[in-house]
Structure 1
Amino acid sequence: MSTTTSIKEELNEKGGFQIWWRLLRPHTLTASIIPVFVGTMFALTGHHINILLFLAMLLASILIQTATNMFNEYYDFVRGLDNEKSVGIGGTIVRDGISPKKVLGLALSFFGIAMLLGVYICIESSWWIAAIGLICMLFGYLYTGGPLPIAYTPFGELSSGFFMGTVIIGISYFIQTETLTTSVIWLSIPIAIFIGGIMMSNNIRDLDGDKENGRRTVAILLGRKNAVRFLAAMFSSAYFLTAFYIFAGVLPIWSILAFLSIIKAADVIKKFRGKTKPLEMMPAMAATGKTNTLYGLLLGVSLLVSNFF
């Protein structure tokens, strides 16, 4: 049995449509869906919302992130960082034999569709959104593209958290209300932390391989044990801020619901402890995305419910 076959079987990778589905890295899409949902629900607390704008923003956000994932797949292959044994990638190029140029072309196509959606969003709101959207797309490309990819530095978590969390929540709120408040910025920080946590968990899993390839992520600088502790501290700070916002009136009392996600956050840390192999840490990586999903959904629902009580 070949190594490629063994890895594909261990990861339960199948052919056909699932090749392209894996390329999107669906377990990470919570980072593009939740910010749009939360930003829109916060807008709903004092305004009516435009459903078409919400859907356009949601699709554009998903397209930008999936394109970023494809750039990651392409450039890590081009730089020789990914091989048939790599865990945590779509494996579309190294295990399924899809042409790298096809992956790059698909990423650029997704960017193009996102730009068309952006035109509609701008027409319905403000053309300033175009400039911000282009900056987001640029950083999405630079995350793994360009001469010094952000993902190879200690700023990956900060960059992803800021652009996917704070910026996307801010845009989602602004296009519905035509204004931006400090409350929205404060509200975005816990979501930004959880999104940064997704990147952190990814880097904890890939620590050994990233170190061999010259990356300087936060996980590498801290070491695996301290990186897991740092991830736990990130989760704790997000929940502390949530409690503070409820106390300060930035969030409604219903946002206590978001604390139900603590169970999943604790599960992430438990699944990471004592693990050293990438395959062993895949459940922890998946649980991190689920933590963001559960927290964001509960927070958004609490904002929705607050409109009726």
Structure 2
Amino acid sequence: MKKFFELVELRTKVASMIPFFIGTVYAVFRFHEFQLYSFGLMFLSLLSFDMATTAINNYFDYHKAVKKKGYGYEVHNAIVKYNMKPSRVLALIIGLLLLAIGAGIMLVIQSGLLVLLLGGLSFAVGILYSFGPIPISRMPLGEIFSGLFMGFVIIFVSTFIHASDGLASLTLLNGVVSLQIQLMEVLLVFFISIPAILCIANIMLANNICDVEDDVENKRYTLPHYIGKSNALLLFRFMYYASYLDLIVLYFLGVNPFILLLVLCTVIPVHNNIGRFAAHPTKQHTFGLAVKNFVLSNVARIAALGIAVLMTI
């Protein structure tokens, strides 16, 4: 189990689970709806697929590595660290994908075609992140794709499976596809998602900043390679502070001011962690601070929405 948890990097699954819970609590807060069966199916599909994509990423990094010495290859990649058989890793990946697809199909039957569209698109991006002639992870697009799909799409779908027509609907009747969107409600979900979008993008950016030299040797040309390490660190700072500007938007959209005060309490530890990472960005010692910042600011959002639910009751 220890080898499995390191292969799928279980500790990083907060990047998908926290947006999932944000969307769930928001659905209860905004629409007063909670569908336990749909909740369980999405949880199983999302967690299985997230673990599968991480394992795929490690599998292809193992095969494509040019530099075979250093922290990134010898310690961070569990396949090398535990001398795993690639065939067994591949079998595990296939098993996780089948579990994710099975639960996803059941969720589509339960919640409708829009879940099929967004889920299928998310599956494609997740696979193409590590697979193909030019994977997303080897281009300067990882931050955009990870932020939008893990930060916004997960929150949207995890809200939609409870709220359904309160957000949008996609129907197929007599060969005609009809998409209806409750524009203001979708925009509100997007504004709720902004901190998750930016913080998840920053996890990717922090990872690429730490690995920029090794990545070039392994022919991975990520965003820090193109804009430079110093500019990447400035962007890293900016995205955290921009996530707090979202509070102003939420205030004008009628979110309870008490919620804003609760989330603002995370500014100081987040600011301190930004400084520590910028001073010494390494995968081994400070990369975890980006994950910690994501957890701090977004768990505060979950707590705030939970309090709002109790207040409405």
- Which TM-score tier does this pair reach, normalised by the shorter chain? 0.7 to 0.9
One-letter amino acid matched to 2:241: S
Unaligned runs of 5+ in 2: 168-184
The residue number in structure 2 matching 1:106 is 92
Q: Does the alignment pair 1:44 with 2:49?
A: no
The answer on whether the counterparts of 2:195 and 2:243 sit within 8 Å (CA) in structure 1 is yes
Q: Does the alignment pair 1:176 with 2:162?
A: yes
The answer on whether the counterparts of 1:264 and 1:287 sit within 8 Å (CA) in structure 2 is no
The answer on whether the counterparts of 2:137 and 2:222 sit within 8 Å (CA) in structure 1 is yes
What is the aligned counterpart of 1:162 among 148, 166, 185? Answer: 148
The superposition leaves residues 61-113 of structure 1 with CA deviations (integer Å, 9 ceiling, x where unpaired) of 22111111111101111112463534387522222111122222212211111
**1:126 Cα offset (Å):** 0.8
The residue number in structure 2 matching 1:3 is none
The residue number in structure 2 matching 1:203 is 208
The residue number in structure 2 matching 1:85 is 70
One-letter amino acid matched to 2:16: S
Change in 2 beyond 3 A, CA 1:81/1:299: farther
Q: Which moved more, 1:190-199 or 1:81-90?
A: 81-90
**1:252 Cα offset (Å):** 5.5
What is the aligned counterpart of 1:134 among 85, 97, 120? Answer: 120
Q: Does the alignment pair 1:192 with 2:197?
A: yes
**1:251 Cα offset (Å):** 6.3
Q: How does 1:225-304 map to 2 (within 5 A)?
A: 225-250=230-255, 253-275=258-280, 278=282, 281-304=283-306
What is the aligned counterpart of 2:51 among 63, 66, 77? Answer: 66
Change in 2 beyond 3 A, CA 1:257/1:174: same
One-letter amino acid matched to 1:236: Y
The answer on whether the counterparts of 2:60 and 2:131 sit within 8 Å (CA) in structure 1 is yes
The residue number in structure 2 matching 1:22 is 6
Change in 2 beyond 3 A, CA 1:57/1:226: same
- Structure 1 runs of 4+ aligned residues shifted over 6 Å read none
The residue number in structure 1 matching 2:15 is 31
TM-score (norm 1): 0.87
Change in 2 beyond 3 A, CA 1:274/1:298: closer
**1:269 Cα offset (Å):** 1.9
Change in 2 beyond 3 A, CA 1:145/1:176: same
Q: Does the alignment pair 1:143 with 2:129?
A: yes
One-letter amino acid matched to 2:19: P
Give the Cα–Cα distance (whole angstroms) in 1 for the partners of residues 250 and 232 of structure 2. 27
Equivalent pairs, count: 290
The answer on whether the counterparts of 1:27 and 1:286 sit within 8 Å (CA) in structure 2 is no
Q: Identity of aligned pairs, percent? A: 29
Give the Cα–Cα distance (whole angstroms) in 1 for the partners of residues 111 and 67 of structure 2. 41
One-letter amino acid matched to 1:172: S
One-letter amino acid matched to 1:44: V
The answer on whether the counterparts of 2:280 and 2:286 sit within 8 Å (CA) in structure 1 is no
Change in 2 beyond 3 A, CA 1:81/1:144: farther
One-letter amino acid matched to 1:196: A
Task: Give the 3-state SS of the residue equivalent to 1:83 in structure 2.
Answer: coil
RMSD: 2.0
What is the aligned counterpart of 1:215 among 214, 217, 220? Answer: 220
**1:226 Cα offset (Å):** 2.1
Q: Which moved more, 1:214-223 or 1:225-234?
A: 214-223
The answer on whether the counterparts of 2:38 and 2:111 sit within 8 Å (CA) in structure 1 is no
Q: Which moved more, 1:178-187 or 1:262-271?
A: 262-271
Q: Which moved more, 1:227-236 or 1:54-63?
A: 54-63
The answer on whether the counterparts of 2:277 and 2:289 sit within 8 Å (CA) in structure 1 is no
Q: Does the alignment pair 1:120 with 2:122?
A: no
The residue number in structure 2 matching 1:11 is none
The superposition leaves residues 29-69 of structure 1 with CA deviations (integer Å, 9 ceiling, x where unpaired) of 11110111001111001222123322322232221111111
One-letter amino acid matched to 1:62: L
Give the Cα–Cα distance (whole angstroms) in 2 for the partners of residues 19 and 285 of structure 1. 21
Unaligned runs of 5+ in 1: 1-16
